[in-house]
Amino acid sequence: MLFDPRPKDNLKDLFDRESEISLLKNSLDSPLIIIIGLRRTGKTSLIKSVLNYTKSTYIFLDMRRFENKEYIVYKDFIKSLEREINEITRKNKDLLSYLRHIQGVQVMGFSVSFSWGEEKVEISDVFSELNDWASEKGKTMHIVIDEAQELIKLRGYNILPSIAYAYDNLKNLSFIVTGSEVRVRDKFLKLEDENSPLFGRAHVEINLLPFSKETSVRFLEEGFKEQGISFPDSEKIFDILGGNPGWLTYFGYIYIKHGRDEEKAILETKRYAKRLLSREFCNFTKEGGRDKRRYLKVIETCRKGCSWKDIKNSLEALEGREINDGTVSDIINNLLEYSFLVKEDRKYMITDKLLGEIINV
């Protein structure tokens, strides 16, 4: 069902995205695939649908769980890995005989426990054994790190050397890394930083954009048709909510669930989006000790697109004093880096229409 609000895990429920599906299918034996897209554009849905369709074996590490944490430590990451590996060992008991050799791994019944203390498990050892197991089976094991920018907050441990080691040596492992922000490429993987373990590694990149107006309208019409409903206002809904598949899906779901009340469904969708976006925005300001009022002012100013000068003027009006150019540029760059803004033709725009809704947080 197109309007199912959970991530899709079946290609038949995934609307459009033909070129992204085919690129991902054709790249599955690449050592590193990066999927970049704003929140709720369908990254998880794309990956799960394609990996299930190709009957691939994969470990799905959902880093969203760390969204509200100020920082994370090795134990947080290794426990996520442990949990997901135990999902696989349940169906593939022979994997246990590979994992039991690793220092810091305890096998108990049909599950493993990873130590994070003195004798902590080395992640590259885990990757090695997963690779050997996959190689023995003649398949590729995919390690998905979803919303990987959260790992920038990992303290006291660097996971990149283990990924670089796997990239170079473990031919039966493939990494699929997703992120809502440009930060995932530049600040987490650091592919263009010559001091980074992953510097210069070739990779496949897939960009998931929000739906265009035409695709959004088709999506809504198709979703309602599935439910035997003729819905005349799809264009209007796009004009209000924008083309983020997550918001459109939620709108369709609520509209059907709550008595086909369009106004109520719009309101509920805005409330839902506002909650998610506000949480991200608050984490963003809290994380960097950033002045929320200033950042909200810039979001407000950029609702319909504006120039650098407009932003500077609006900040000066807010504070009733001059603000130096460096500060203005820093604020704009931070918002660009976290994908709250985009720059097009020298104009700055909010990336998601509903970001305008967070102004009153």
Closest distance between ligand ADP and the C-beta of residue 81, in Å?
Answer: 20
* Cα 291 from chain centre: 25
The site for ligand ADP, by CB under 6 A, has a size of: 21
Subset of residues 235 to 264 that bind ligand ADP, contact rule: CB under 6 A:
245-246, 249
Subset of residues 14 to 53 that bind ligand ADP, contact rule: CB under 6 A:
14-17, 37, 39-45
User: In this chain, which residue has its C-beta nearest to ligand ADP?
Assistant: 42
DSSP annotation string for 273-314:
HHHHHHHHHHHHHHHTT--HHHHHHHHHHTTT-B-HHHHHHH
Q: What angle do CA 142, 164, 53 make, to 5 degrees?
A: 15
Question: Cβ atoms within 10 A of the Cβ of 254, count?
Answer: 21
Among the candidate windows 11-19, 135-143, 269-277, 348-356, which touches ligand ADP by CB under 6 A? 11-19
Q: Give the separation between CA 334 and CA 326, rounded to whole angstroms.
A: 12
Q: Give the separation between CA 142 and CA 122, rounded to whole angstroms.
A: 19
Closest distance between ligand ADP and the C-beta of residue 270, in Å?
Answer: 16
Q: Which is nearer to ligand ADP, 35 or 328 (CB)?
A: 35
Among the candidate windows 8-16, 112-120, 195-203, 277-285, which touches ligand ADP by CB under 6 A? 8-16
Q: Which is nearer to ligand ADP, 167 or 250 (CB)?
A: 250
- Helix or strand (DSSP H, E) at 344: strand 341-344
Subset of residues 146 to 165 that bind ligand ADP, contact rule: CB under 6 A:
none
Closest distance between ligand ADP and the C-beta of residue 332, in Å?
Answer: 24
Q: What angle do CA 204, 209, 213 make, to 5 degrees?
A: 150
What's phi and psi for 207, nearest 5 deg? -105, 125
Among the candidate windows 7-15, 65-73, 235-243, 312-320, which touches ligand ADP by CB under 6 A? 7-15
Applying CB under 6 A, the residues found at the interface with ligand ADP are 2, 4-8, 14-17, 37, 39-45, 245-246, 249
